[in-house]
Each structure stands twice: as C-alpha cells, then as structure tokens.
Structure 1
Amino acid sequence: MDSNLIAPVGVLGFGVEGQSTFDYLVRNGVKDIVVMDKNPVNLPEVPAGVNVKVCSGENYLDGLKDCVTVVRSAGVYPMSPALFKFQMNGGLMTSQIQLFLEQTKSKKVVGVTGTLGKGSTVSMISHILTKCGVNNEIGGNFGVPALDLLKNETADRVSILELSSFQLMTLSLSPDVAVVLRVSTEHLDWHQSVEEYRDAKANLVRWQKRDGACVYLKDAAPTAKIASESPAKTKYAVSLNDDGDAVIEGATLTIDGTKLYLEDCKVRGIYQLENMAAATLACKALGIKVADAFEALKSYETLPFRMEFKGEKRGIEFFNDSYATRPDATIAATASMKRPFALILGGSEKNADFTELSQILVNDRPNLKRIALIGATAQRMLESLQQAGLKVTANIFPTLEEAFADSLNIGEGGTVIMSPACASFGLFKNYKVRGQVFDKLVADL
C-alpha cells in the first residue's frame, strides 16, 4: 500500500476512472473511503469492514472535509477553490497516473500525449511490441484505467499510457519514454488558458530521468518547446525536413537509412506517418530495431472511426473519420484525399474557430466537390465557408442519413468522407455511435 494514501481517502469523480480507483483502494485494504460526485452514485458491493460515505449533488465537495487524501479523477479541474483550500489545510491530492507511476513494476513505461493522434500512436507502439514479442499493455485515457494495469502486472511488461492534459495536470513523475505529438489548443472550456494547457502537457517530460528518452515533432513549435523541458539525454526528433531522427518526405518515412512507404501499409492518411514515426522512435528507445518496427507497421490496421476505409461501393470509396471532433483533424484527413470527394461536416457546438478549416477546404482542396452539413454548427460552418469564397455545392441537412444520401451524388470514381470537425452530441450520444450509423449506411448500400 502506498504510504501517501492516508485514510480517509476521497474518490473525486465516480465515472469509469473513479470506479477503478475505488476498486484499487478496496484491493489495497483502505477501510475509510469518501466518494464524491455531482451525479448520483451507484456503489458496487462493499466488502465487510469498509466504511464508505457518499457525497453527491450540488454540494458533493463538502465530502472533502472528511478526507485526508483525495484521488482526483482526470475530468475534475484540480485548481478549484475547494481543492485549493483542501490542500492549504494539509490535505493531500493525488491521481490515478501519479499512483500508477509510483507503484508500477513494469520494466518500462511509455507515455504519449498531444492534441491529435494519441490513440493511434499508442496502439501502433503496442502493435510493434506485440509483433516483436514484447509483453505490453495499454492504459490511461485509452484502454483500461491506469490503476487496473497494476492488477496482474509482471516485471517483463512495457506499460503504454495515453495521457490527456487533464491527467497530466498535477503530475510530479514522468514515464521512462515520453512521446509528444502535435500540440495545438484544446479544452479551453476546461483549462484557463493555452499556457495552462501546454504547461500541463509538459509534465509528461518535466520529471524524466537522464536515462529516459523523449520523442517529439521538431517542426511543431509548441511540441518542440515542451520537449525542451525534458532532462532526458536521448531525444529523437520527427521532422518534415532533412534534419530529424525520423524524416517524412511525401508518403515516405526514413529512420536510420531504412524506409517505410505508406503504400505498403494498411492505414490511409498521410498524417499517419507522423504517428508511425513517433511510434517507431519510441520502440527504438525500448531496444526494437527500426526494420522490425517498420515490418510490424505494414500490418497495422487503423483504429475504428479514425480515417477508417470502409470499402468501395457503386464505384465510390467511403472513409469513416467520426473521431475527427476538431477542425485540425479534418484538415489532416482531407489532405490525403486523392479522388474527387464529398465531405460530411458538422456536429455539436464547442465554439471552435472554423476560419482556417474553411480557407483550406476552399483554397487547398481542389478535389472537394460537395459538402453536406449537419448538427448545431452547420449554419456557422456554412457562413465560414462562404466567407472563404466557397464555390462548390454545400447544403444543410437535419440528419446524417440525408447528408449521406446527398453525398452519394459525388458519383462513380469519387469518395465520401465523414470527418465532422465537431463533437457529436445533440444528434448522437458520442462519436462512436455517429461512426456506427455511418458504417451501417455504407453497409446498407
């Protein structure tokens, strides 16, 4: 049991992560637990001898006065006045990732952060390690909650964590191998500023040891700045010029003189080469040969709803990029379209700025032939596209089904891609449901 966890221990937030924390505390013999969540709490079966107090509703943070230690779930903002006061009065605050890094027996821990591509990169690292016979598990923001990884941990394992800014915000330990992907601005409805968001990301590298390794994108200024805070001796740069440890030129990736051609891989989307480069360099830091990593990547298949190729019907190719909930994801996805294409755009409102997306779609995507807009952002997106000088057909539709039917007008030899640049709420429960609906529409053709 970790000495920092002085009871009573509070579980702050009781979603998937909070429930995993509760399970961890019970497993480790904590007898006094306080569960705090704004929403109603459904407790699992509590073993005899364990006292659990539940605080829910508007005043759920009143439970802090009964805690000595609090394990914060990632989605709970750590700088709130109530949590600040709790710590000023001697309370201890920790998190899942902090506890995992303090206690893991894994031989190495790889942490991946960035605004885009985290899930793909994490799964690529796992795919390479598995193909090379290295025992590994994925956790954190993707896969299972980090503390669940401690259950059947073995000393020969590599643990791979996808880490969001929320999870990194209060961290005071860093993983052995840190991967910093492209960092733009995100979650400004949660973070106070862009600086705070990027500062949180920097905790991934800030506490690394000298013998650690840091992989980063050299051409992305915020990413390079974050990487510069790493004390690790080994630093691997991914570059679009000739001066990186991994160099991307067109659809070719070169590392240590070995080349990987995108056409030999199952994934689509030229932007995936950045993720492949980062994954390969992370594995290189773990002792994997570059040629073996490249061979493994040829058989890697895209995660669901991330530029997922759904086949060709009636002479039309279909791509499902429902995971693209931000404008820059859609910019990246549409860059790899080869044929004339129809784009399905729009979703729920996160007050994102569509100016850059609109300008790129209008000026830099000559093969974009029609746009179907859905969701709460449809009107605002249409106005933004018109301001950028839109020349192609663009219409607003009440449902995805109608937008899909309109997109089929692209005709034989064309492509239909759903890459919404927005979250899905309002029309759908989440991006997965939106993706499933699109898949069914393709399947039903």
Structure 2
Amino acid sequence: MNQKILVAGSGKSGIAASRLILKTGGEVILYDSNAALHKEELLGRLGEEESVSVLLGELKKEDLTDVSLCVISPGISMDAPFVSVLKEADIPVWSEIQLAYHHAKGKLAAITGTNGKTTTTALTGEIMKAHYDQVFVVGNIGVPYTEEALKTGGDSVTVAEISSFQLETITDFRPDVSAILNITPDHLDRHKTMECYIEVKERITSNQRPQDSCILNFDDPVLREFGAALTPKAVYFSSRQFLEEGYCMEGDRIIWNHNGEKTEIANIHEIQLLGRHNHENIMAAAAISAQMGVPMDVIRKVVREFKAVEHRIEFVAEKAGVKYFNDSKGTNPDAAIQAIKAMPGPTLLIAGGYDKNSQYDEWIESFDGKVKYMVLLGQTREKIAECAARHGFTNVMYAEDMQEAVKVCASYANRGDHVLLSPACASWGMFKCYEERGEIFKECVRNM
C-alpha cells in the first residue's frame, strides 16, 4: 500500500490503522482535531517516525498534498468539519474495517445490530475456535480489525462485531456470513433519523453475493421485510414464533428446523445466559456458525458451556443476601429493557449517563412493578426522572458518582433483591467508556 494516507483519529482504532498502513509500505499522516494533544506522545505509540507525520487542530486543503485516501476512526462523525475539506479535495474516505478487509484473508463473519452484538460475537468466536485452528475475534468487541488483519491466512476465520459507525464508510467490505440481530432506536444524535440508522445497518449485506448468507431476526418486521429481497441467502431466527425453517424456541428448547428435520441446540435450563434476548443471541451464533461450516455437535457443546460476557448482565457478587449485576454495556433503552426482564426478582436500578437523544418511555414502562427504586447518574438524570414521573414511577434518587449510587442501593435493598447497573445511556461525560463504568461499579460492590 505505497500511498500517503491520512488517518483521522488518534485513539485505539486510529493507531491500529496507522500501524497496518506502515507495515504494508504506506506513509501516514496521523490527524486529530484536538490541538491540545502532544505529537511526541502520538509518535511514540507508533515508533515509525520516519514514515509518520502528526497533524493537530484544523485541517486545511494544503495539508492534503499527495494524500490519496483517508481512513476515519468510527468515533468521528461524517459531519465533522474536516470531512468537508476531504470531500472538496476529492479524497475517498474508508472506515477502519474497510482498510482491514482490504488486507485480510480467509473467511469473515460480520455481526451488527443495536443490541446483543458483543455476546453473539464472543459466543460465535468460541464456537469457531472449537472447530477451526486459526480464529480472530475483532471489531467493537475490543480488538481493532486492523490490528489482526495481516495475521490472517487463507484458512483462517475472522468474527467481527461491526457498528453502524464503521458501516458508514465501507466500499467493497463483504462478509461470507453477515448478521443483523435487531434494530431499535440508538445513536440518533449521529444518524438523525431511524431511516438513516436502518439503512446504515443494512449496508453490511451490500456487497454480499448469492453464495453468501445473512442471519436475520424474524421478530423484527424491518428485518423480516428486508430479508425477502436480499441477494445473499436469508436465514432467520425467532424467540417468539415457531419457524418451519430456521432457529426458534419449542417450549424450553432452542431448536433448528431445516429441511423437515428438527435439531435441539440447547435447553434454556442447561445454559448460563439469562433472558430471552440471550436465547436470540444463541440462535444467531448457532446460525452463523452453521453457515460457516461448524458441525452442530460442536455448536451445542460450546453453547452449553459459554458464560456471560463481561459488562453484559454479568453477576458480580452477593452481599447480605442481595445480588449485584453489571450491565454497563446496556447503553440504550432497549438493551436496558432486556436486562430488567432478565432479573429474576425485585430490582434496584442504577441508570443514566450521556444523552444520545434516546426516548425512555418504553423502558420505564418495562419496569412493570419489578423495579423498586431507580438511582440516576449523569447528564440524563433529570430527563429520565421526568419521564419516569409521567409514567407514575417516583421512587427516584440522584447520585453524584458510582460509589454513592451503589451505597444508596445497598441501603434500600432487602435480602433477595437484585441491584442492576443498566444505564440505558452511553458512559461519556463521567467515564471514558462503558468498560470503565462497569469496572468501577464492580469495584464499588466488592469493596462494600
């Protein structure tokens, strides 16, 4: 890749993309609009000073001399001012996953959707590792695709968690198997409308061919309609309806119906994941894995042994007869609804955070007598409290930080209750990321 490439964003994704470009013979201009960053520190992360220059602050057209491509980090909106400078200079913009795909080899399974991506990706990765020798699990799950792309080979399998932000700027990105788990309102501060958000999610299939496949949630009317006109083969799963062809529930059993034959994947009492939404994640992972050639006996074994992903309805501890669960990855109302449904009894809820222009009515309605108290943090606390009051829920308290929130819940909880961190909001403003939020919650619980 003997080109001069502008990498926009100096975080984890941007650094990984820069390293890939340098390893393939390219030259990097590492750009960040934050003029307060230190060039020496950024260069130190890369260790390739002779092929890297750092540009901070405002981007001007004259800065783009000989630049042939921009690789943009997913956290940067296409509405950012410097993007108009790129467009004026007629410089194409790639996402980090597009750059990785350009260099990667082997088979690719790519998973998107509003909720359940991380659990489904992690479970699919474990199933693949039980069958294939070389497996890479990448993307939003924590490891940038660009960090692993050059390690892939003709016989390797990559499982990627893909966000809507990453799909905005793909060109020929083509998974062998794609999955859209569900689509509910999220990131509308960036995508503006649901129509735009849906269209971006559906781009994951845009380059797939008839021999490829796409796993879709039959219970989502948007995805059911989308699948009817797909070029790749549509494979459906449903937790609410019996499917003559596809993955579904039969009583307490998760089954696969195919060509008139019924195969049991697991009984829900044998698995270690809580809630209907996790039954859907299991169906999706099983469907992806089967389409990637994994035998059903391997899928069945891994499904039964798999434990919850960190920060997703993760059991933390039991203190004085009260069980504490960390669902910090519940960053939108729909994800938080699933976590509440998964709680087996009375619950004290810690919520609130950064405002993504979400609406909270359906979430508050889902409390349905199960939530005893709600302790609110962050930017959205007044907005959520006002919404709760409109729906008749007034057992609301505020906390200034996570330690105070946990202490308040502990003081109001009775033996047999559950304390759940499931914020329904992003972590930004109070925490660097949802992982940090979850770790602080767990530390507060363990230190009680």
The normalised TM-score by structure 1 is 0.90
Aligned ranges 1:235-254 → 2 under 5 Å: 235-239=234-238, 240-243=240-243, 245-248=246-249, 252-254=253-255
- Tell me, yes or no, if structure 1 residue 389 matches structure 2 residue 392: yes
Amino acid at match of 1:222: V
In the TM superposition, residue 353 of structure 1 has moved relative to its aligned partner by 1.2
Residue matched to 1:125: 124
Query: Relative to structure 1, is the Cα distance of residues 62 and 83 closer, same or farther in structure 2, using a 3 angstrom cutoff?
Result: farther
Larger displacement relative to structure 2 (156-165 or 406-415): 406-415
Alpha-carbon deviations, 1:245-271, whole Å to 9, x = none? 011356542213214122211222331
Query: Relative to structure 1, is the Cα distance of residues 353 and 60 closer, same or farther in structure 2, using a 3 angstrom cutoff?
Result: farther
Residue matched to 1:265: 271
Corresponding residue to 1:18 among 11, 14, 38: 14
Q: How far, CA to CA, are the matches of 1:433 and 1:439 in structure 2?
A: 10
- Tell me, yes or no, if structure 1 residue 147 matches structure 2 residue 142: no
Residue matched to 2:421: 418
Residue matched to 1:29: 25
Amino acid at match of 1:405: K
Q: How far, CA to CA, are the matches of 1:298 and 1:28 in structure 2?
A: 41
C-alpha contact 1:77 1:190 (8 A) present in aligned 2:
yes
1:246 partner SS: strand
C-alpha contact 1:10 1:35 (8 A) present in aligned 2:
yes
In the TM superposition, residue 413 of structure 1 has moved relative to its aligned partner by 1.6
Q: How far, CA to CA, are the matches of 1:93 and 1:378 in structure 2?
A: 37
Query: Relative to structure 1, is the Cα distance of residues 209 and 269 closer, same or farther in structure 2, using a 3 angstrom cutoff?
Result: same
Alpha-carbon deviations, 1:72-118, whole Å to 9, x = none? 22233346675466456543333332233233221x10000111111
2:425 partner SS: coil
Query: Relative to structure 1, is the Cα distance of residues 80 and 316 closer, same or farther in structure 2, using a 3 angstrom cutoff?
Result: closer
Residue matched to 2:33: 38
In the TM superposition, residue 23 of structure 1 has moved relative to its aligned partner by 1.2
In the TM superposition, residue 179 of structure 1 has moved relative to its aligned partner by 0.7
Residue matched to 1:322: 328
Q: How far, CA to CA, are the matches of 1:410 and 1:342 in structure 2?
A: 7
In the TM superposition, residue 318 of structure 1 has moved relative to its aligned partner by 1.5
2:195 partner SS: helix
Aligned ranges 1:84-99 → 2 under 5 Å: 86-87=86-87, 89-99=89-99
Corresponding residue to 1:348 among 346, 354, 360: 354
In the TM superposition, residue 200 of structure 1 has moved relative to its aligned partner by 1.6
Q: How far, CA to CA, are the matches of 2:256 and 2:182 in structure 1?
A: 19
Residue matched to 1:179: 179
Q: How far, CA to CA, are the matches of 1:62 and 1:306 in structure 2?
A: 46
Aligned ranges 1:175-254 → 2 under 5 Å: 175-228=175-228, 230-232=230-232, 234-239=233-238, 240-243=240-243, 245-248=246-249, 252-254=253-255
2:152 partner SS: coil
Unaligned runs of 5+ in 2: none
In the TM superposition, residue 241 of structure 1 has moved relative to its aligned partner by 0.3
Residue matched to 2:313: 307
Q: How far, CA to CA, are the matches of 1:185 and 1:212 in structure 2?
A: 28
C-alpha contact 1:139 1:146 (8 A) present in aligned 2:
yes
Q: How far, CA to CA, are the matches of 2:76 and 2:143 in structure 1?
A: 19
Query: Relative to structure 1, is the Cα distance of residues 367 and 34 closer, same or farther in structure 2, using a 3 angstrom cutoff?
Result: closer
Query: Relative to structure 1, is the Cα distance of residues 84 and 431 closer, same or farther in structure 2, using a 3 angstrom cutoff?
Result: closer
Count of paired positions:
433
Q: How far, CA to CA, are the matches of 2:75 and 2:137 in structure 1?
A: 20
Residue matched to 1:54: 54
Amino acid at match of 2:6: G
Residue matched to 1:368: 371
Query: Relative to structure 1, is the Cα distance of residues 85 and 358 closer, same or farther in structure 2, using a 3 angstrom cutoff?
Result: same
Alpha-carbon deviations, 1:115-152, whole Å to 9, x = none? 11111111010111122344311112223221222232
Unaligned runs of 5+ in 1: none
Alpha-carbon deviations, 1:23-51, whole Å to 9, x = none? 11221112x43222112342235548x44
In the TM superposition, residue 61 of structure 1 has moved relative to its aligned partner by 6.5
Larger displacement relative to structure 2 (373-382 or 175-184): 373-382
Query: Relative to structure 1, is the Cα distance of residues 168 and 411 closer, same or farther in structure 2, using a 3 angstrom cutoff?
Result: same
1:439 partner SS: helix
Query: Relative to structure 1, is the Cα distance of residues 400 and 280 closer, same or farther in structure 2, using a 3 angstrom cutoff?
Result: same
Larger displacement relative to structure 2 (348-357 or 114-123): 348-357
Q: How far, CA to CA, are the matches of 2:440 and 2:88 in structure 1?
A: 49
Residue matched to 2:72: 72
C-alpha contact 2:6 2:29 (8 A) present in aligned 1:
yes
C-alpha contact 2:321 2:414 (8 A) present in aligned 1:
yes
Residue matched to 1:403: 405
Amino acid at match of 1:402: E
Residue matched to 2:166: 167
In the TM superposition, residue 166 of structure 1 has moved relative to its aligned partner by 1.4
Query: Relative to structure 1, is the Cα distance of residues 370 and 52 closer, same or farther in structure 2, using a 3 angstrom cutoff?
Result: closer
1:189 partner SS: helix
Q: How far, CA to CA, are the matches of 2:111 and 2:302 in structure 1?
A: 19
Query: RMSD over aligned Cα, in angstroms?
Result: 2.4
Corresponding residue to 1:278 among 266, 271, 284: 284
C-alpha contact 2:103 2:150 (8 A) present in aligned 1:
no
2:323 partner SS: strand
Larger displacement relative to structure 2 (264-273 or 192-201): 192-201
Query: Relative to structure 1, is the Cα distance of residues 300 and 225 closer, same or farther in structure 2, using a 3 angstrom cutoff?
Result: same
2:151 partner SS: coil
- Tell me, yes or no, if structure 1 residue 287 matches structure 2 residue 289: no
In the TM superposition, residue 326 of structure 1 has moved relative to its aligned partner by 1.1
The normalised TM-score by structure 2 is 0.89
Query: Relative to structure 1, is the Cα distance of residues 290 and 35 closer, same or farther in structure 2, using a 3 angstrom cutoff?
Result: same
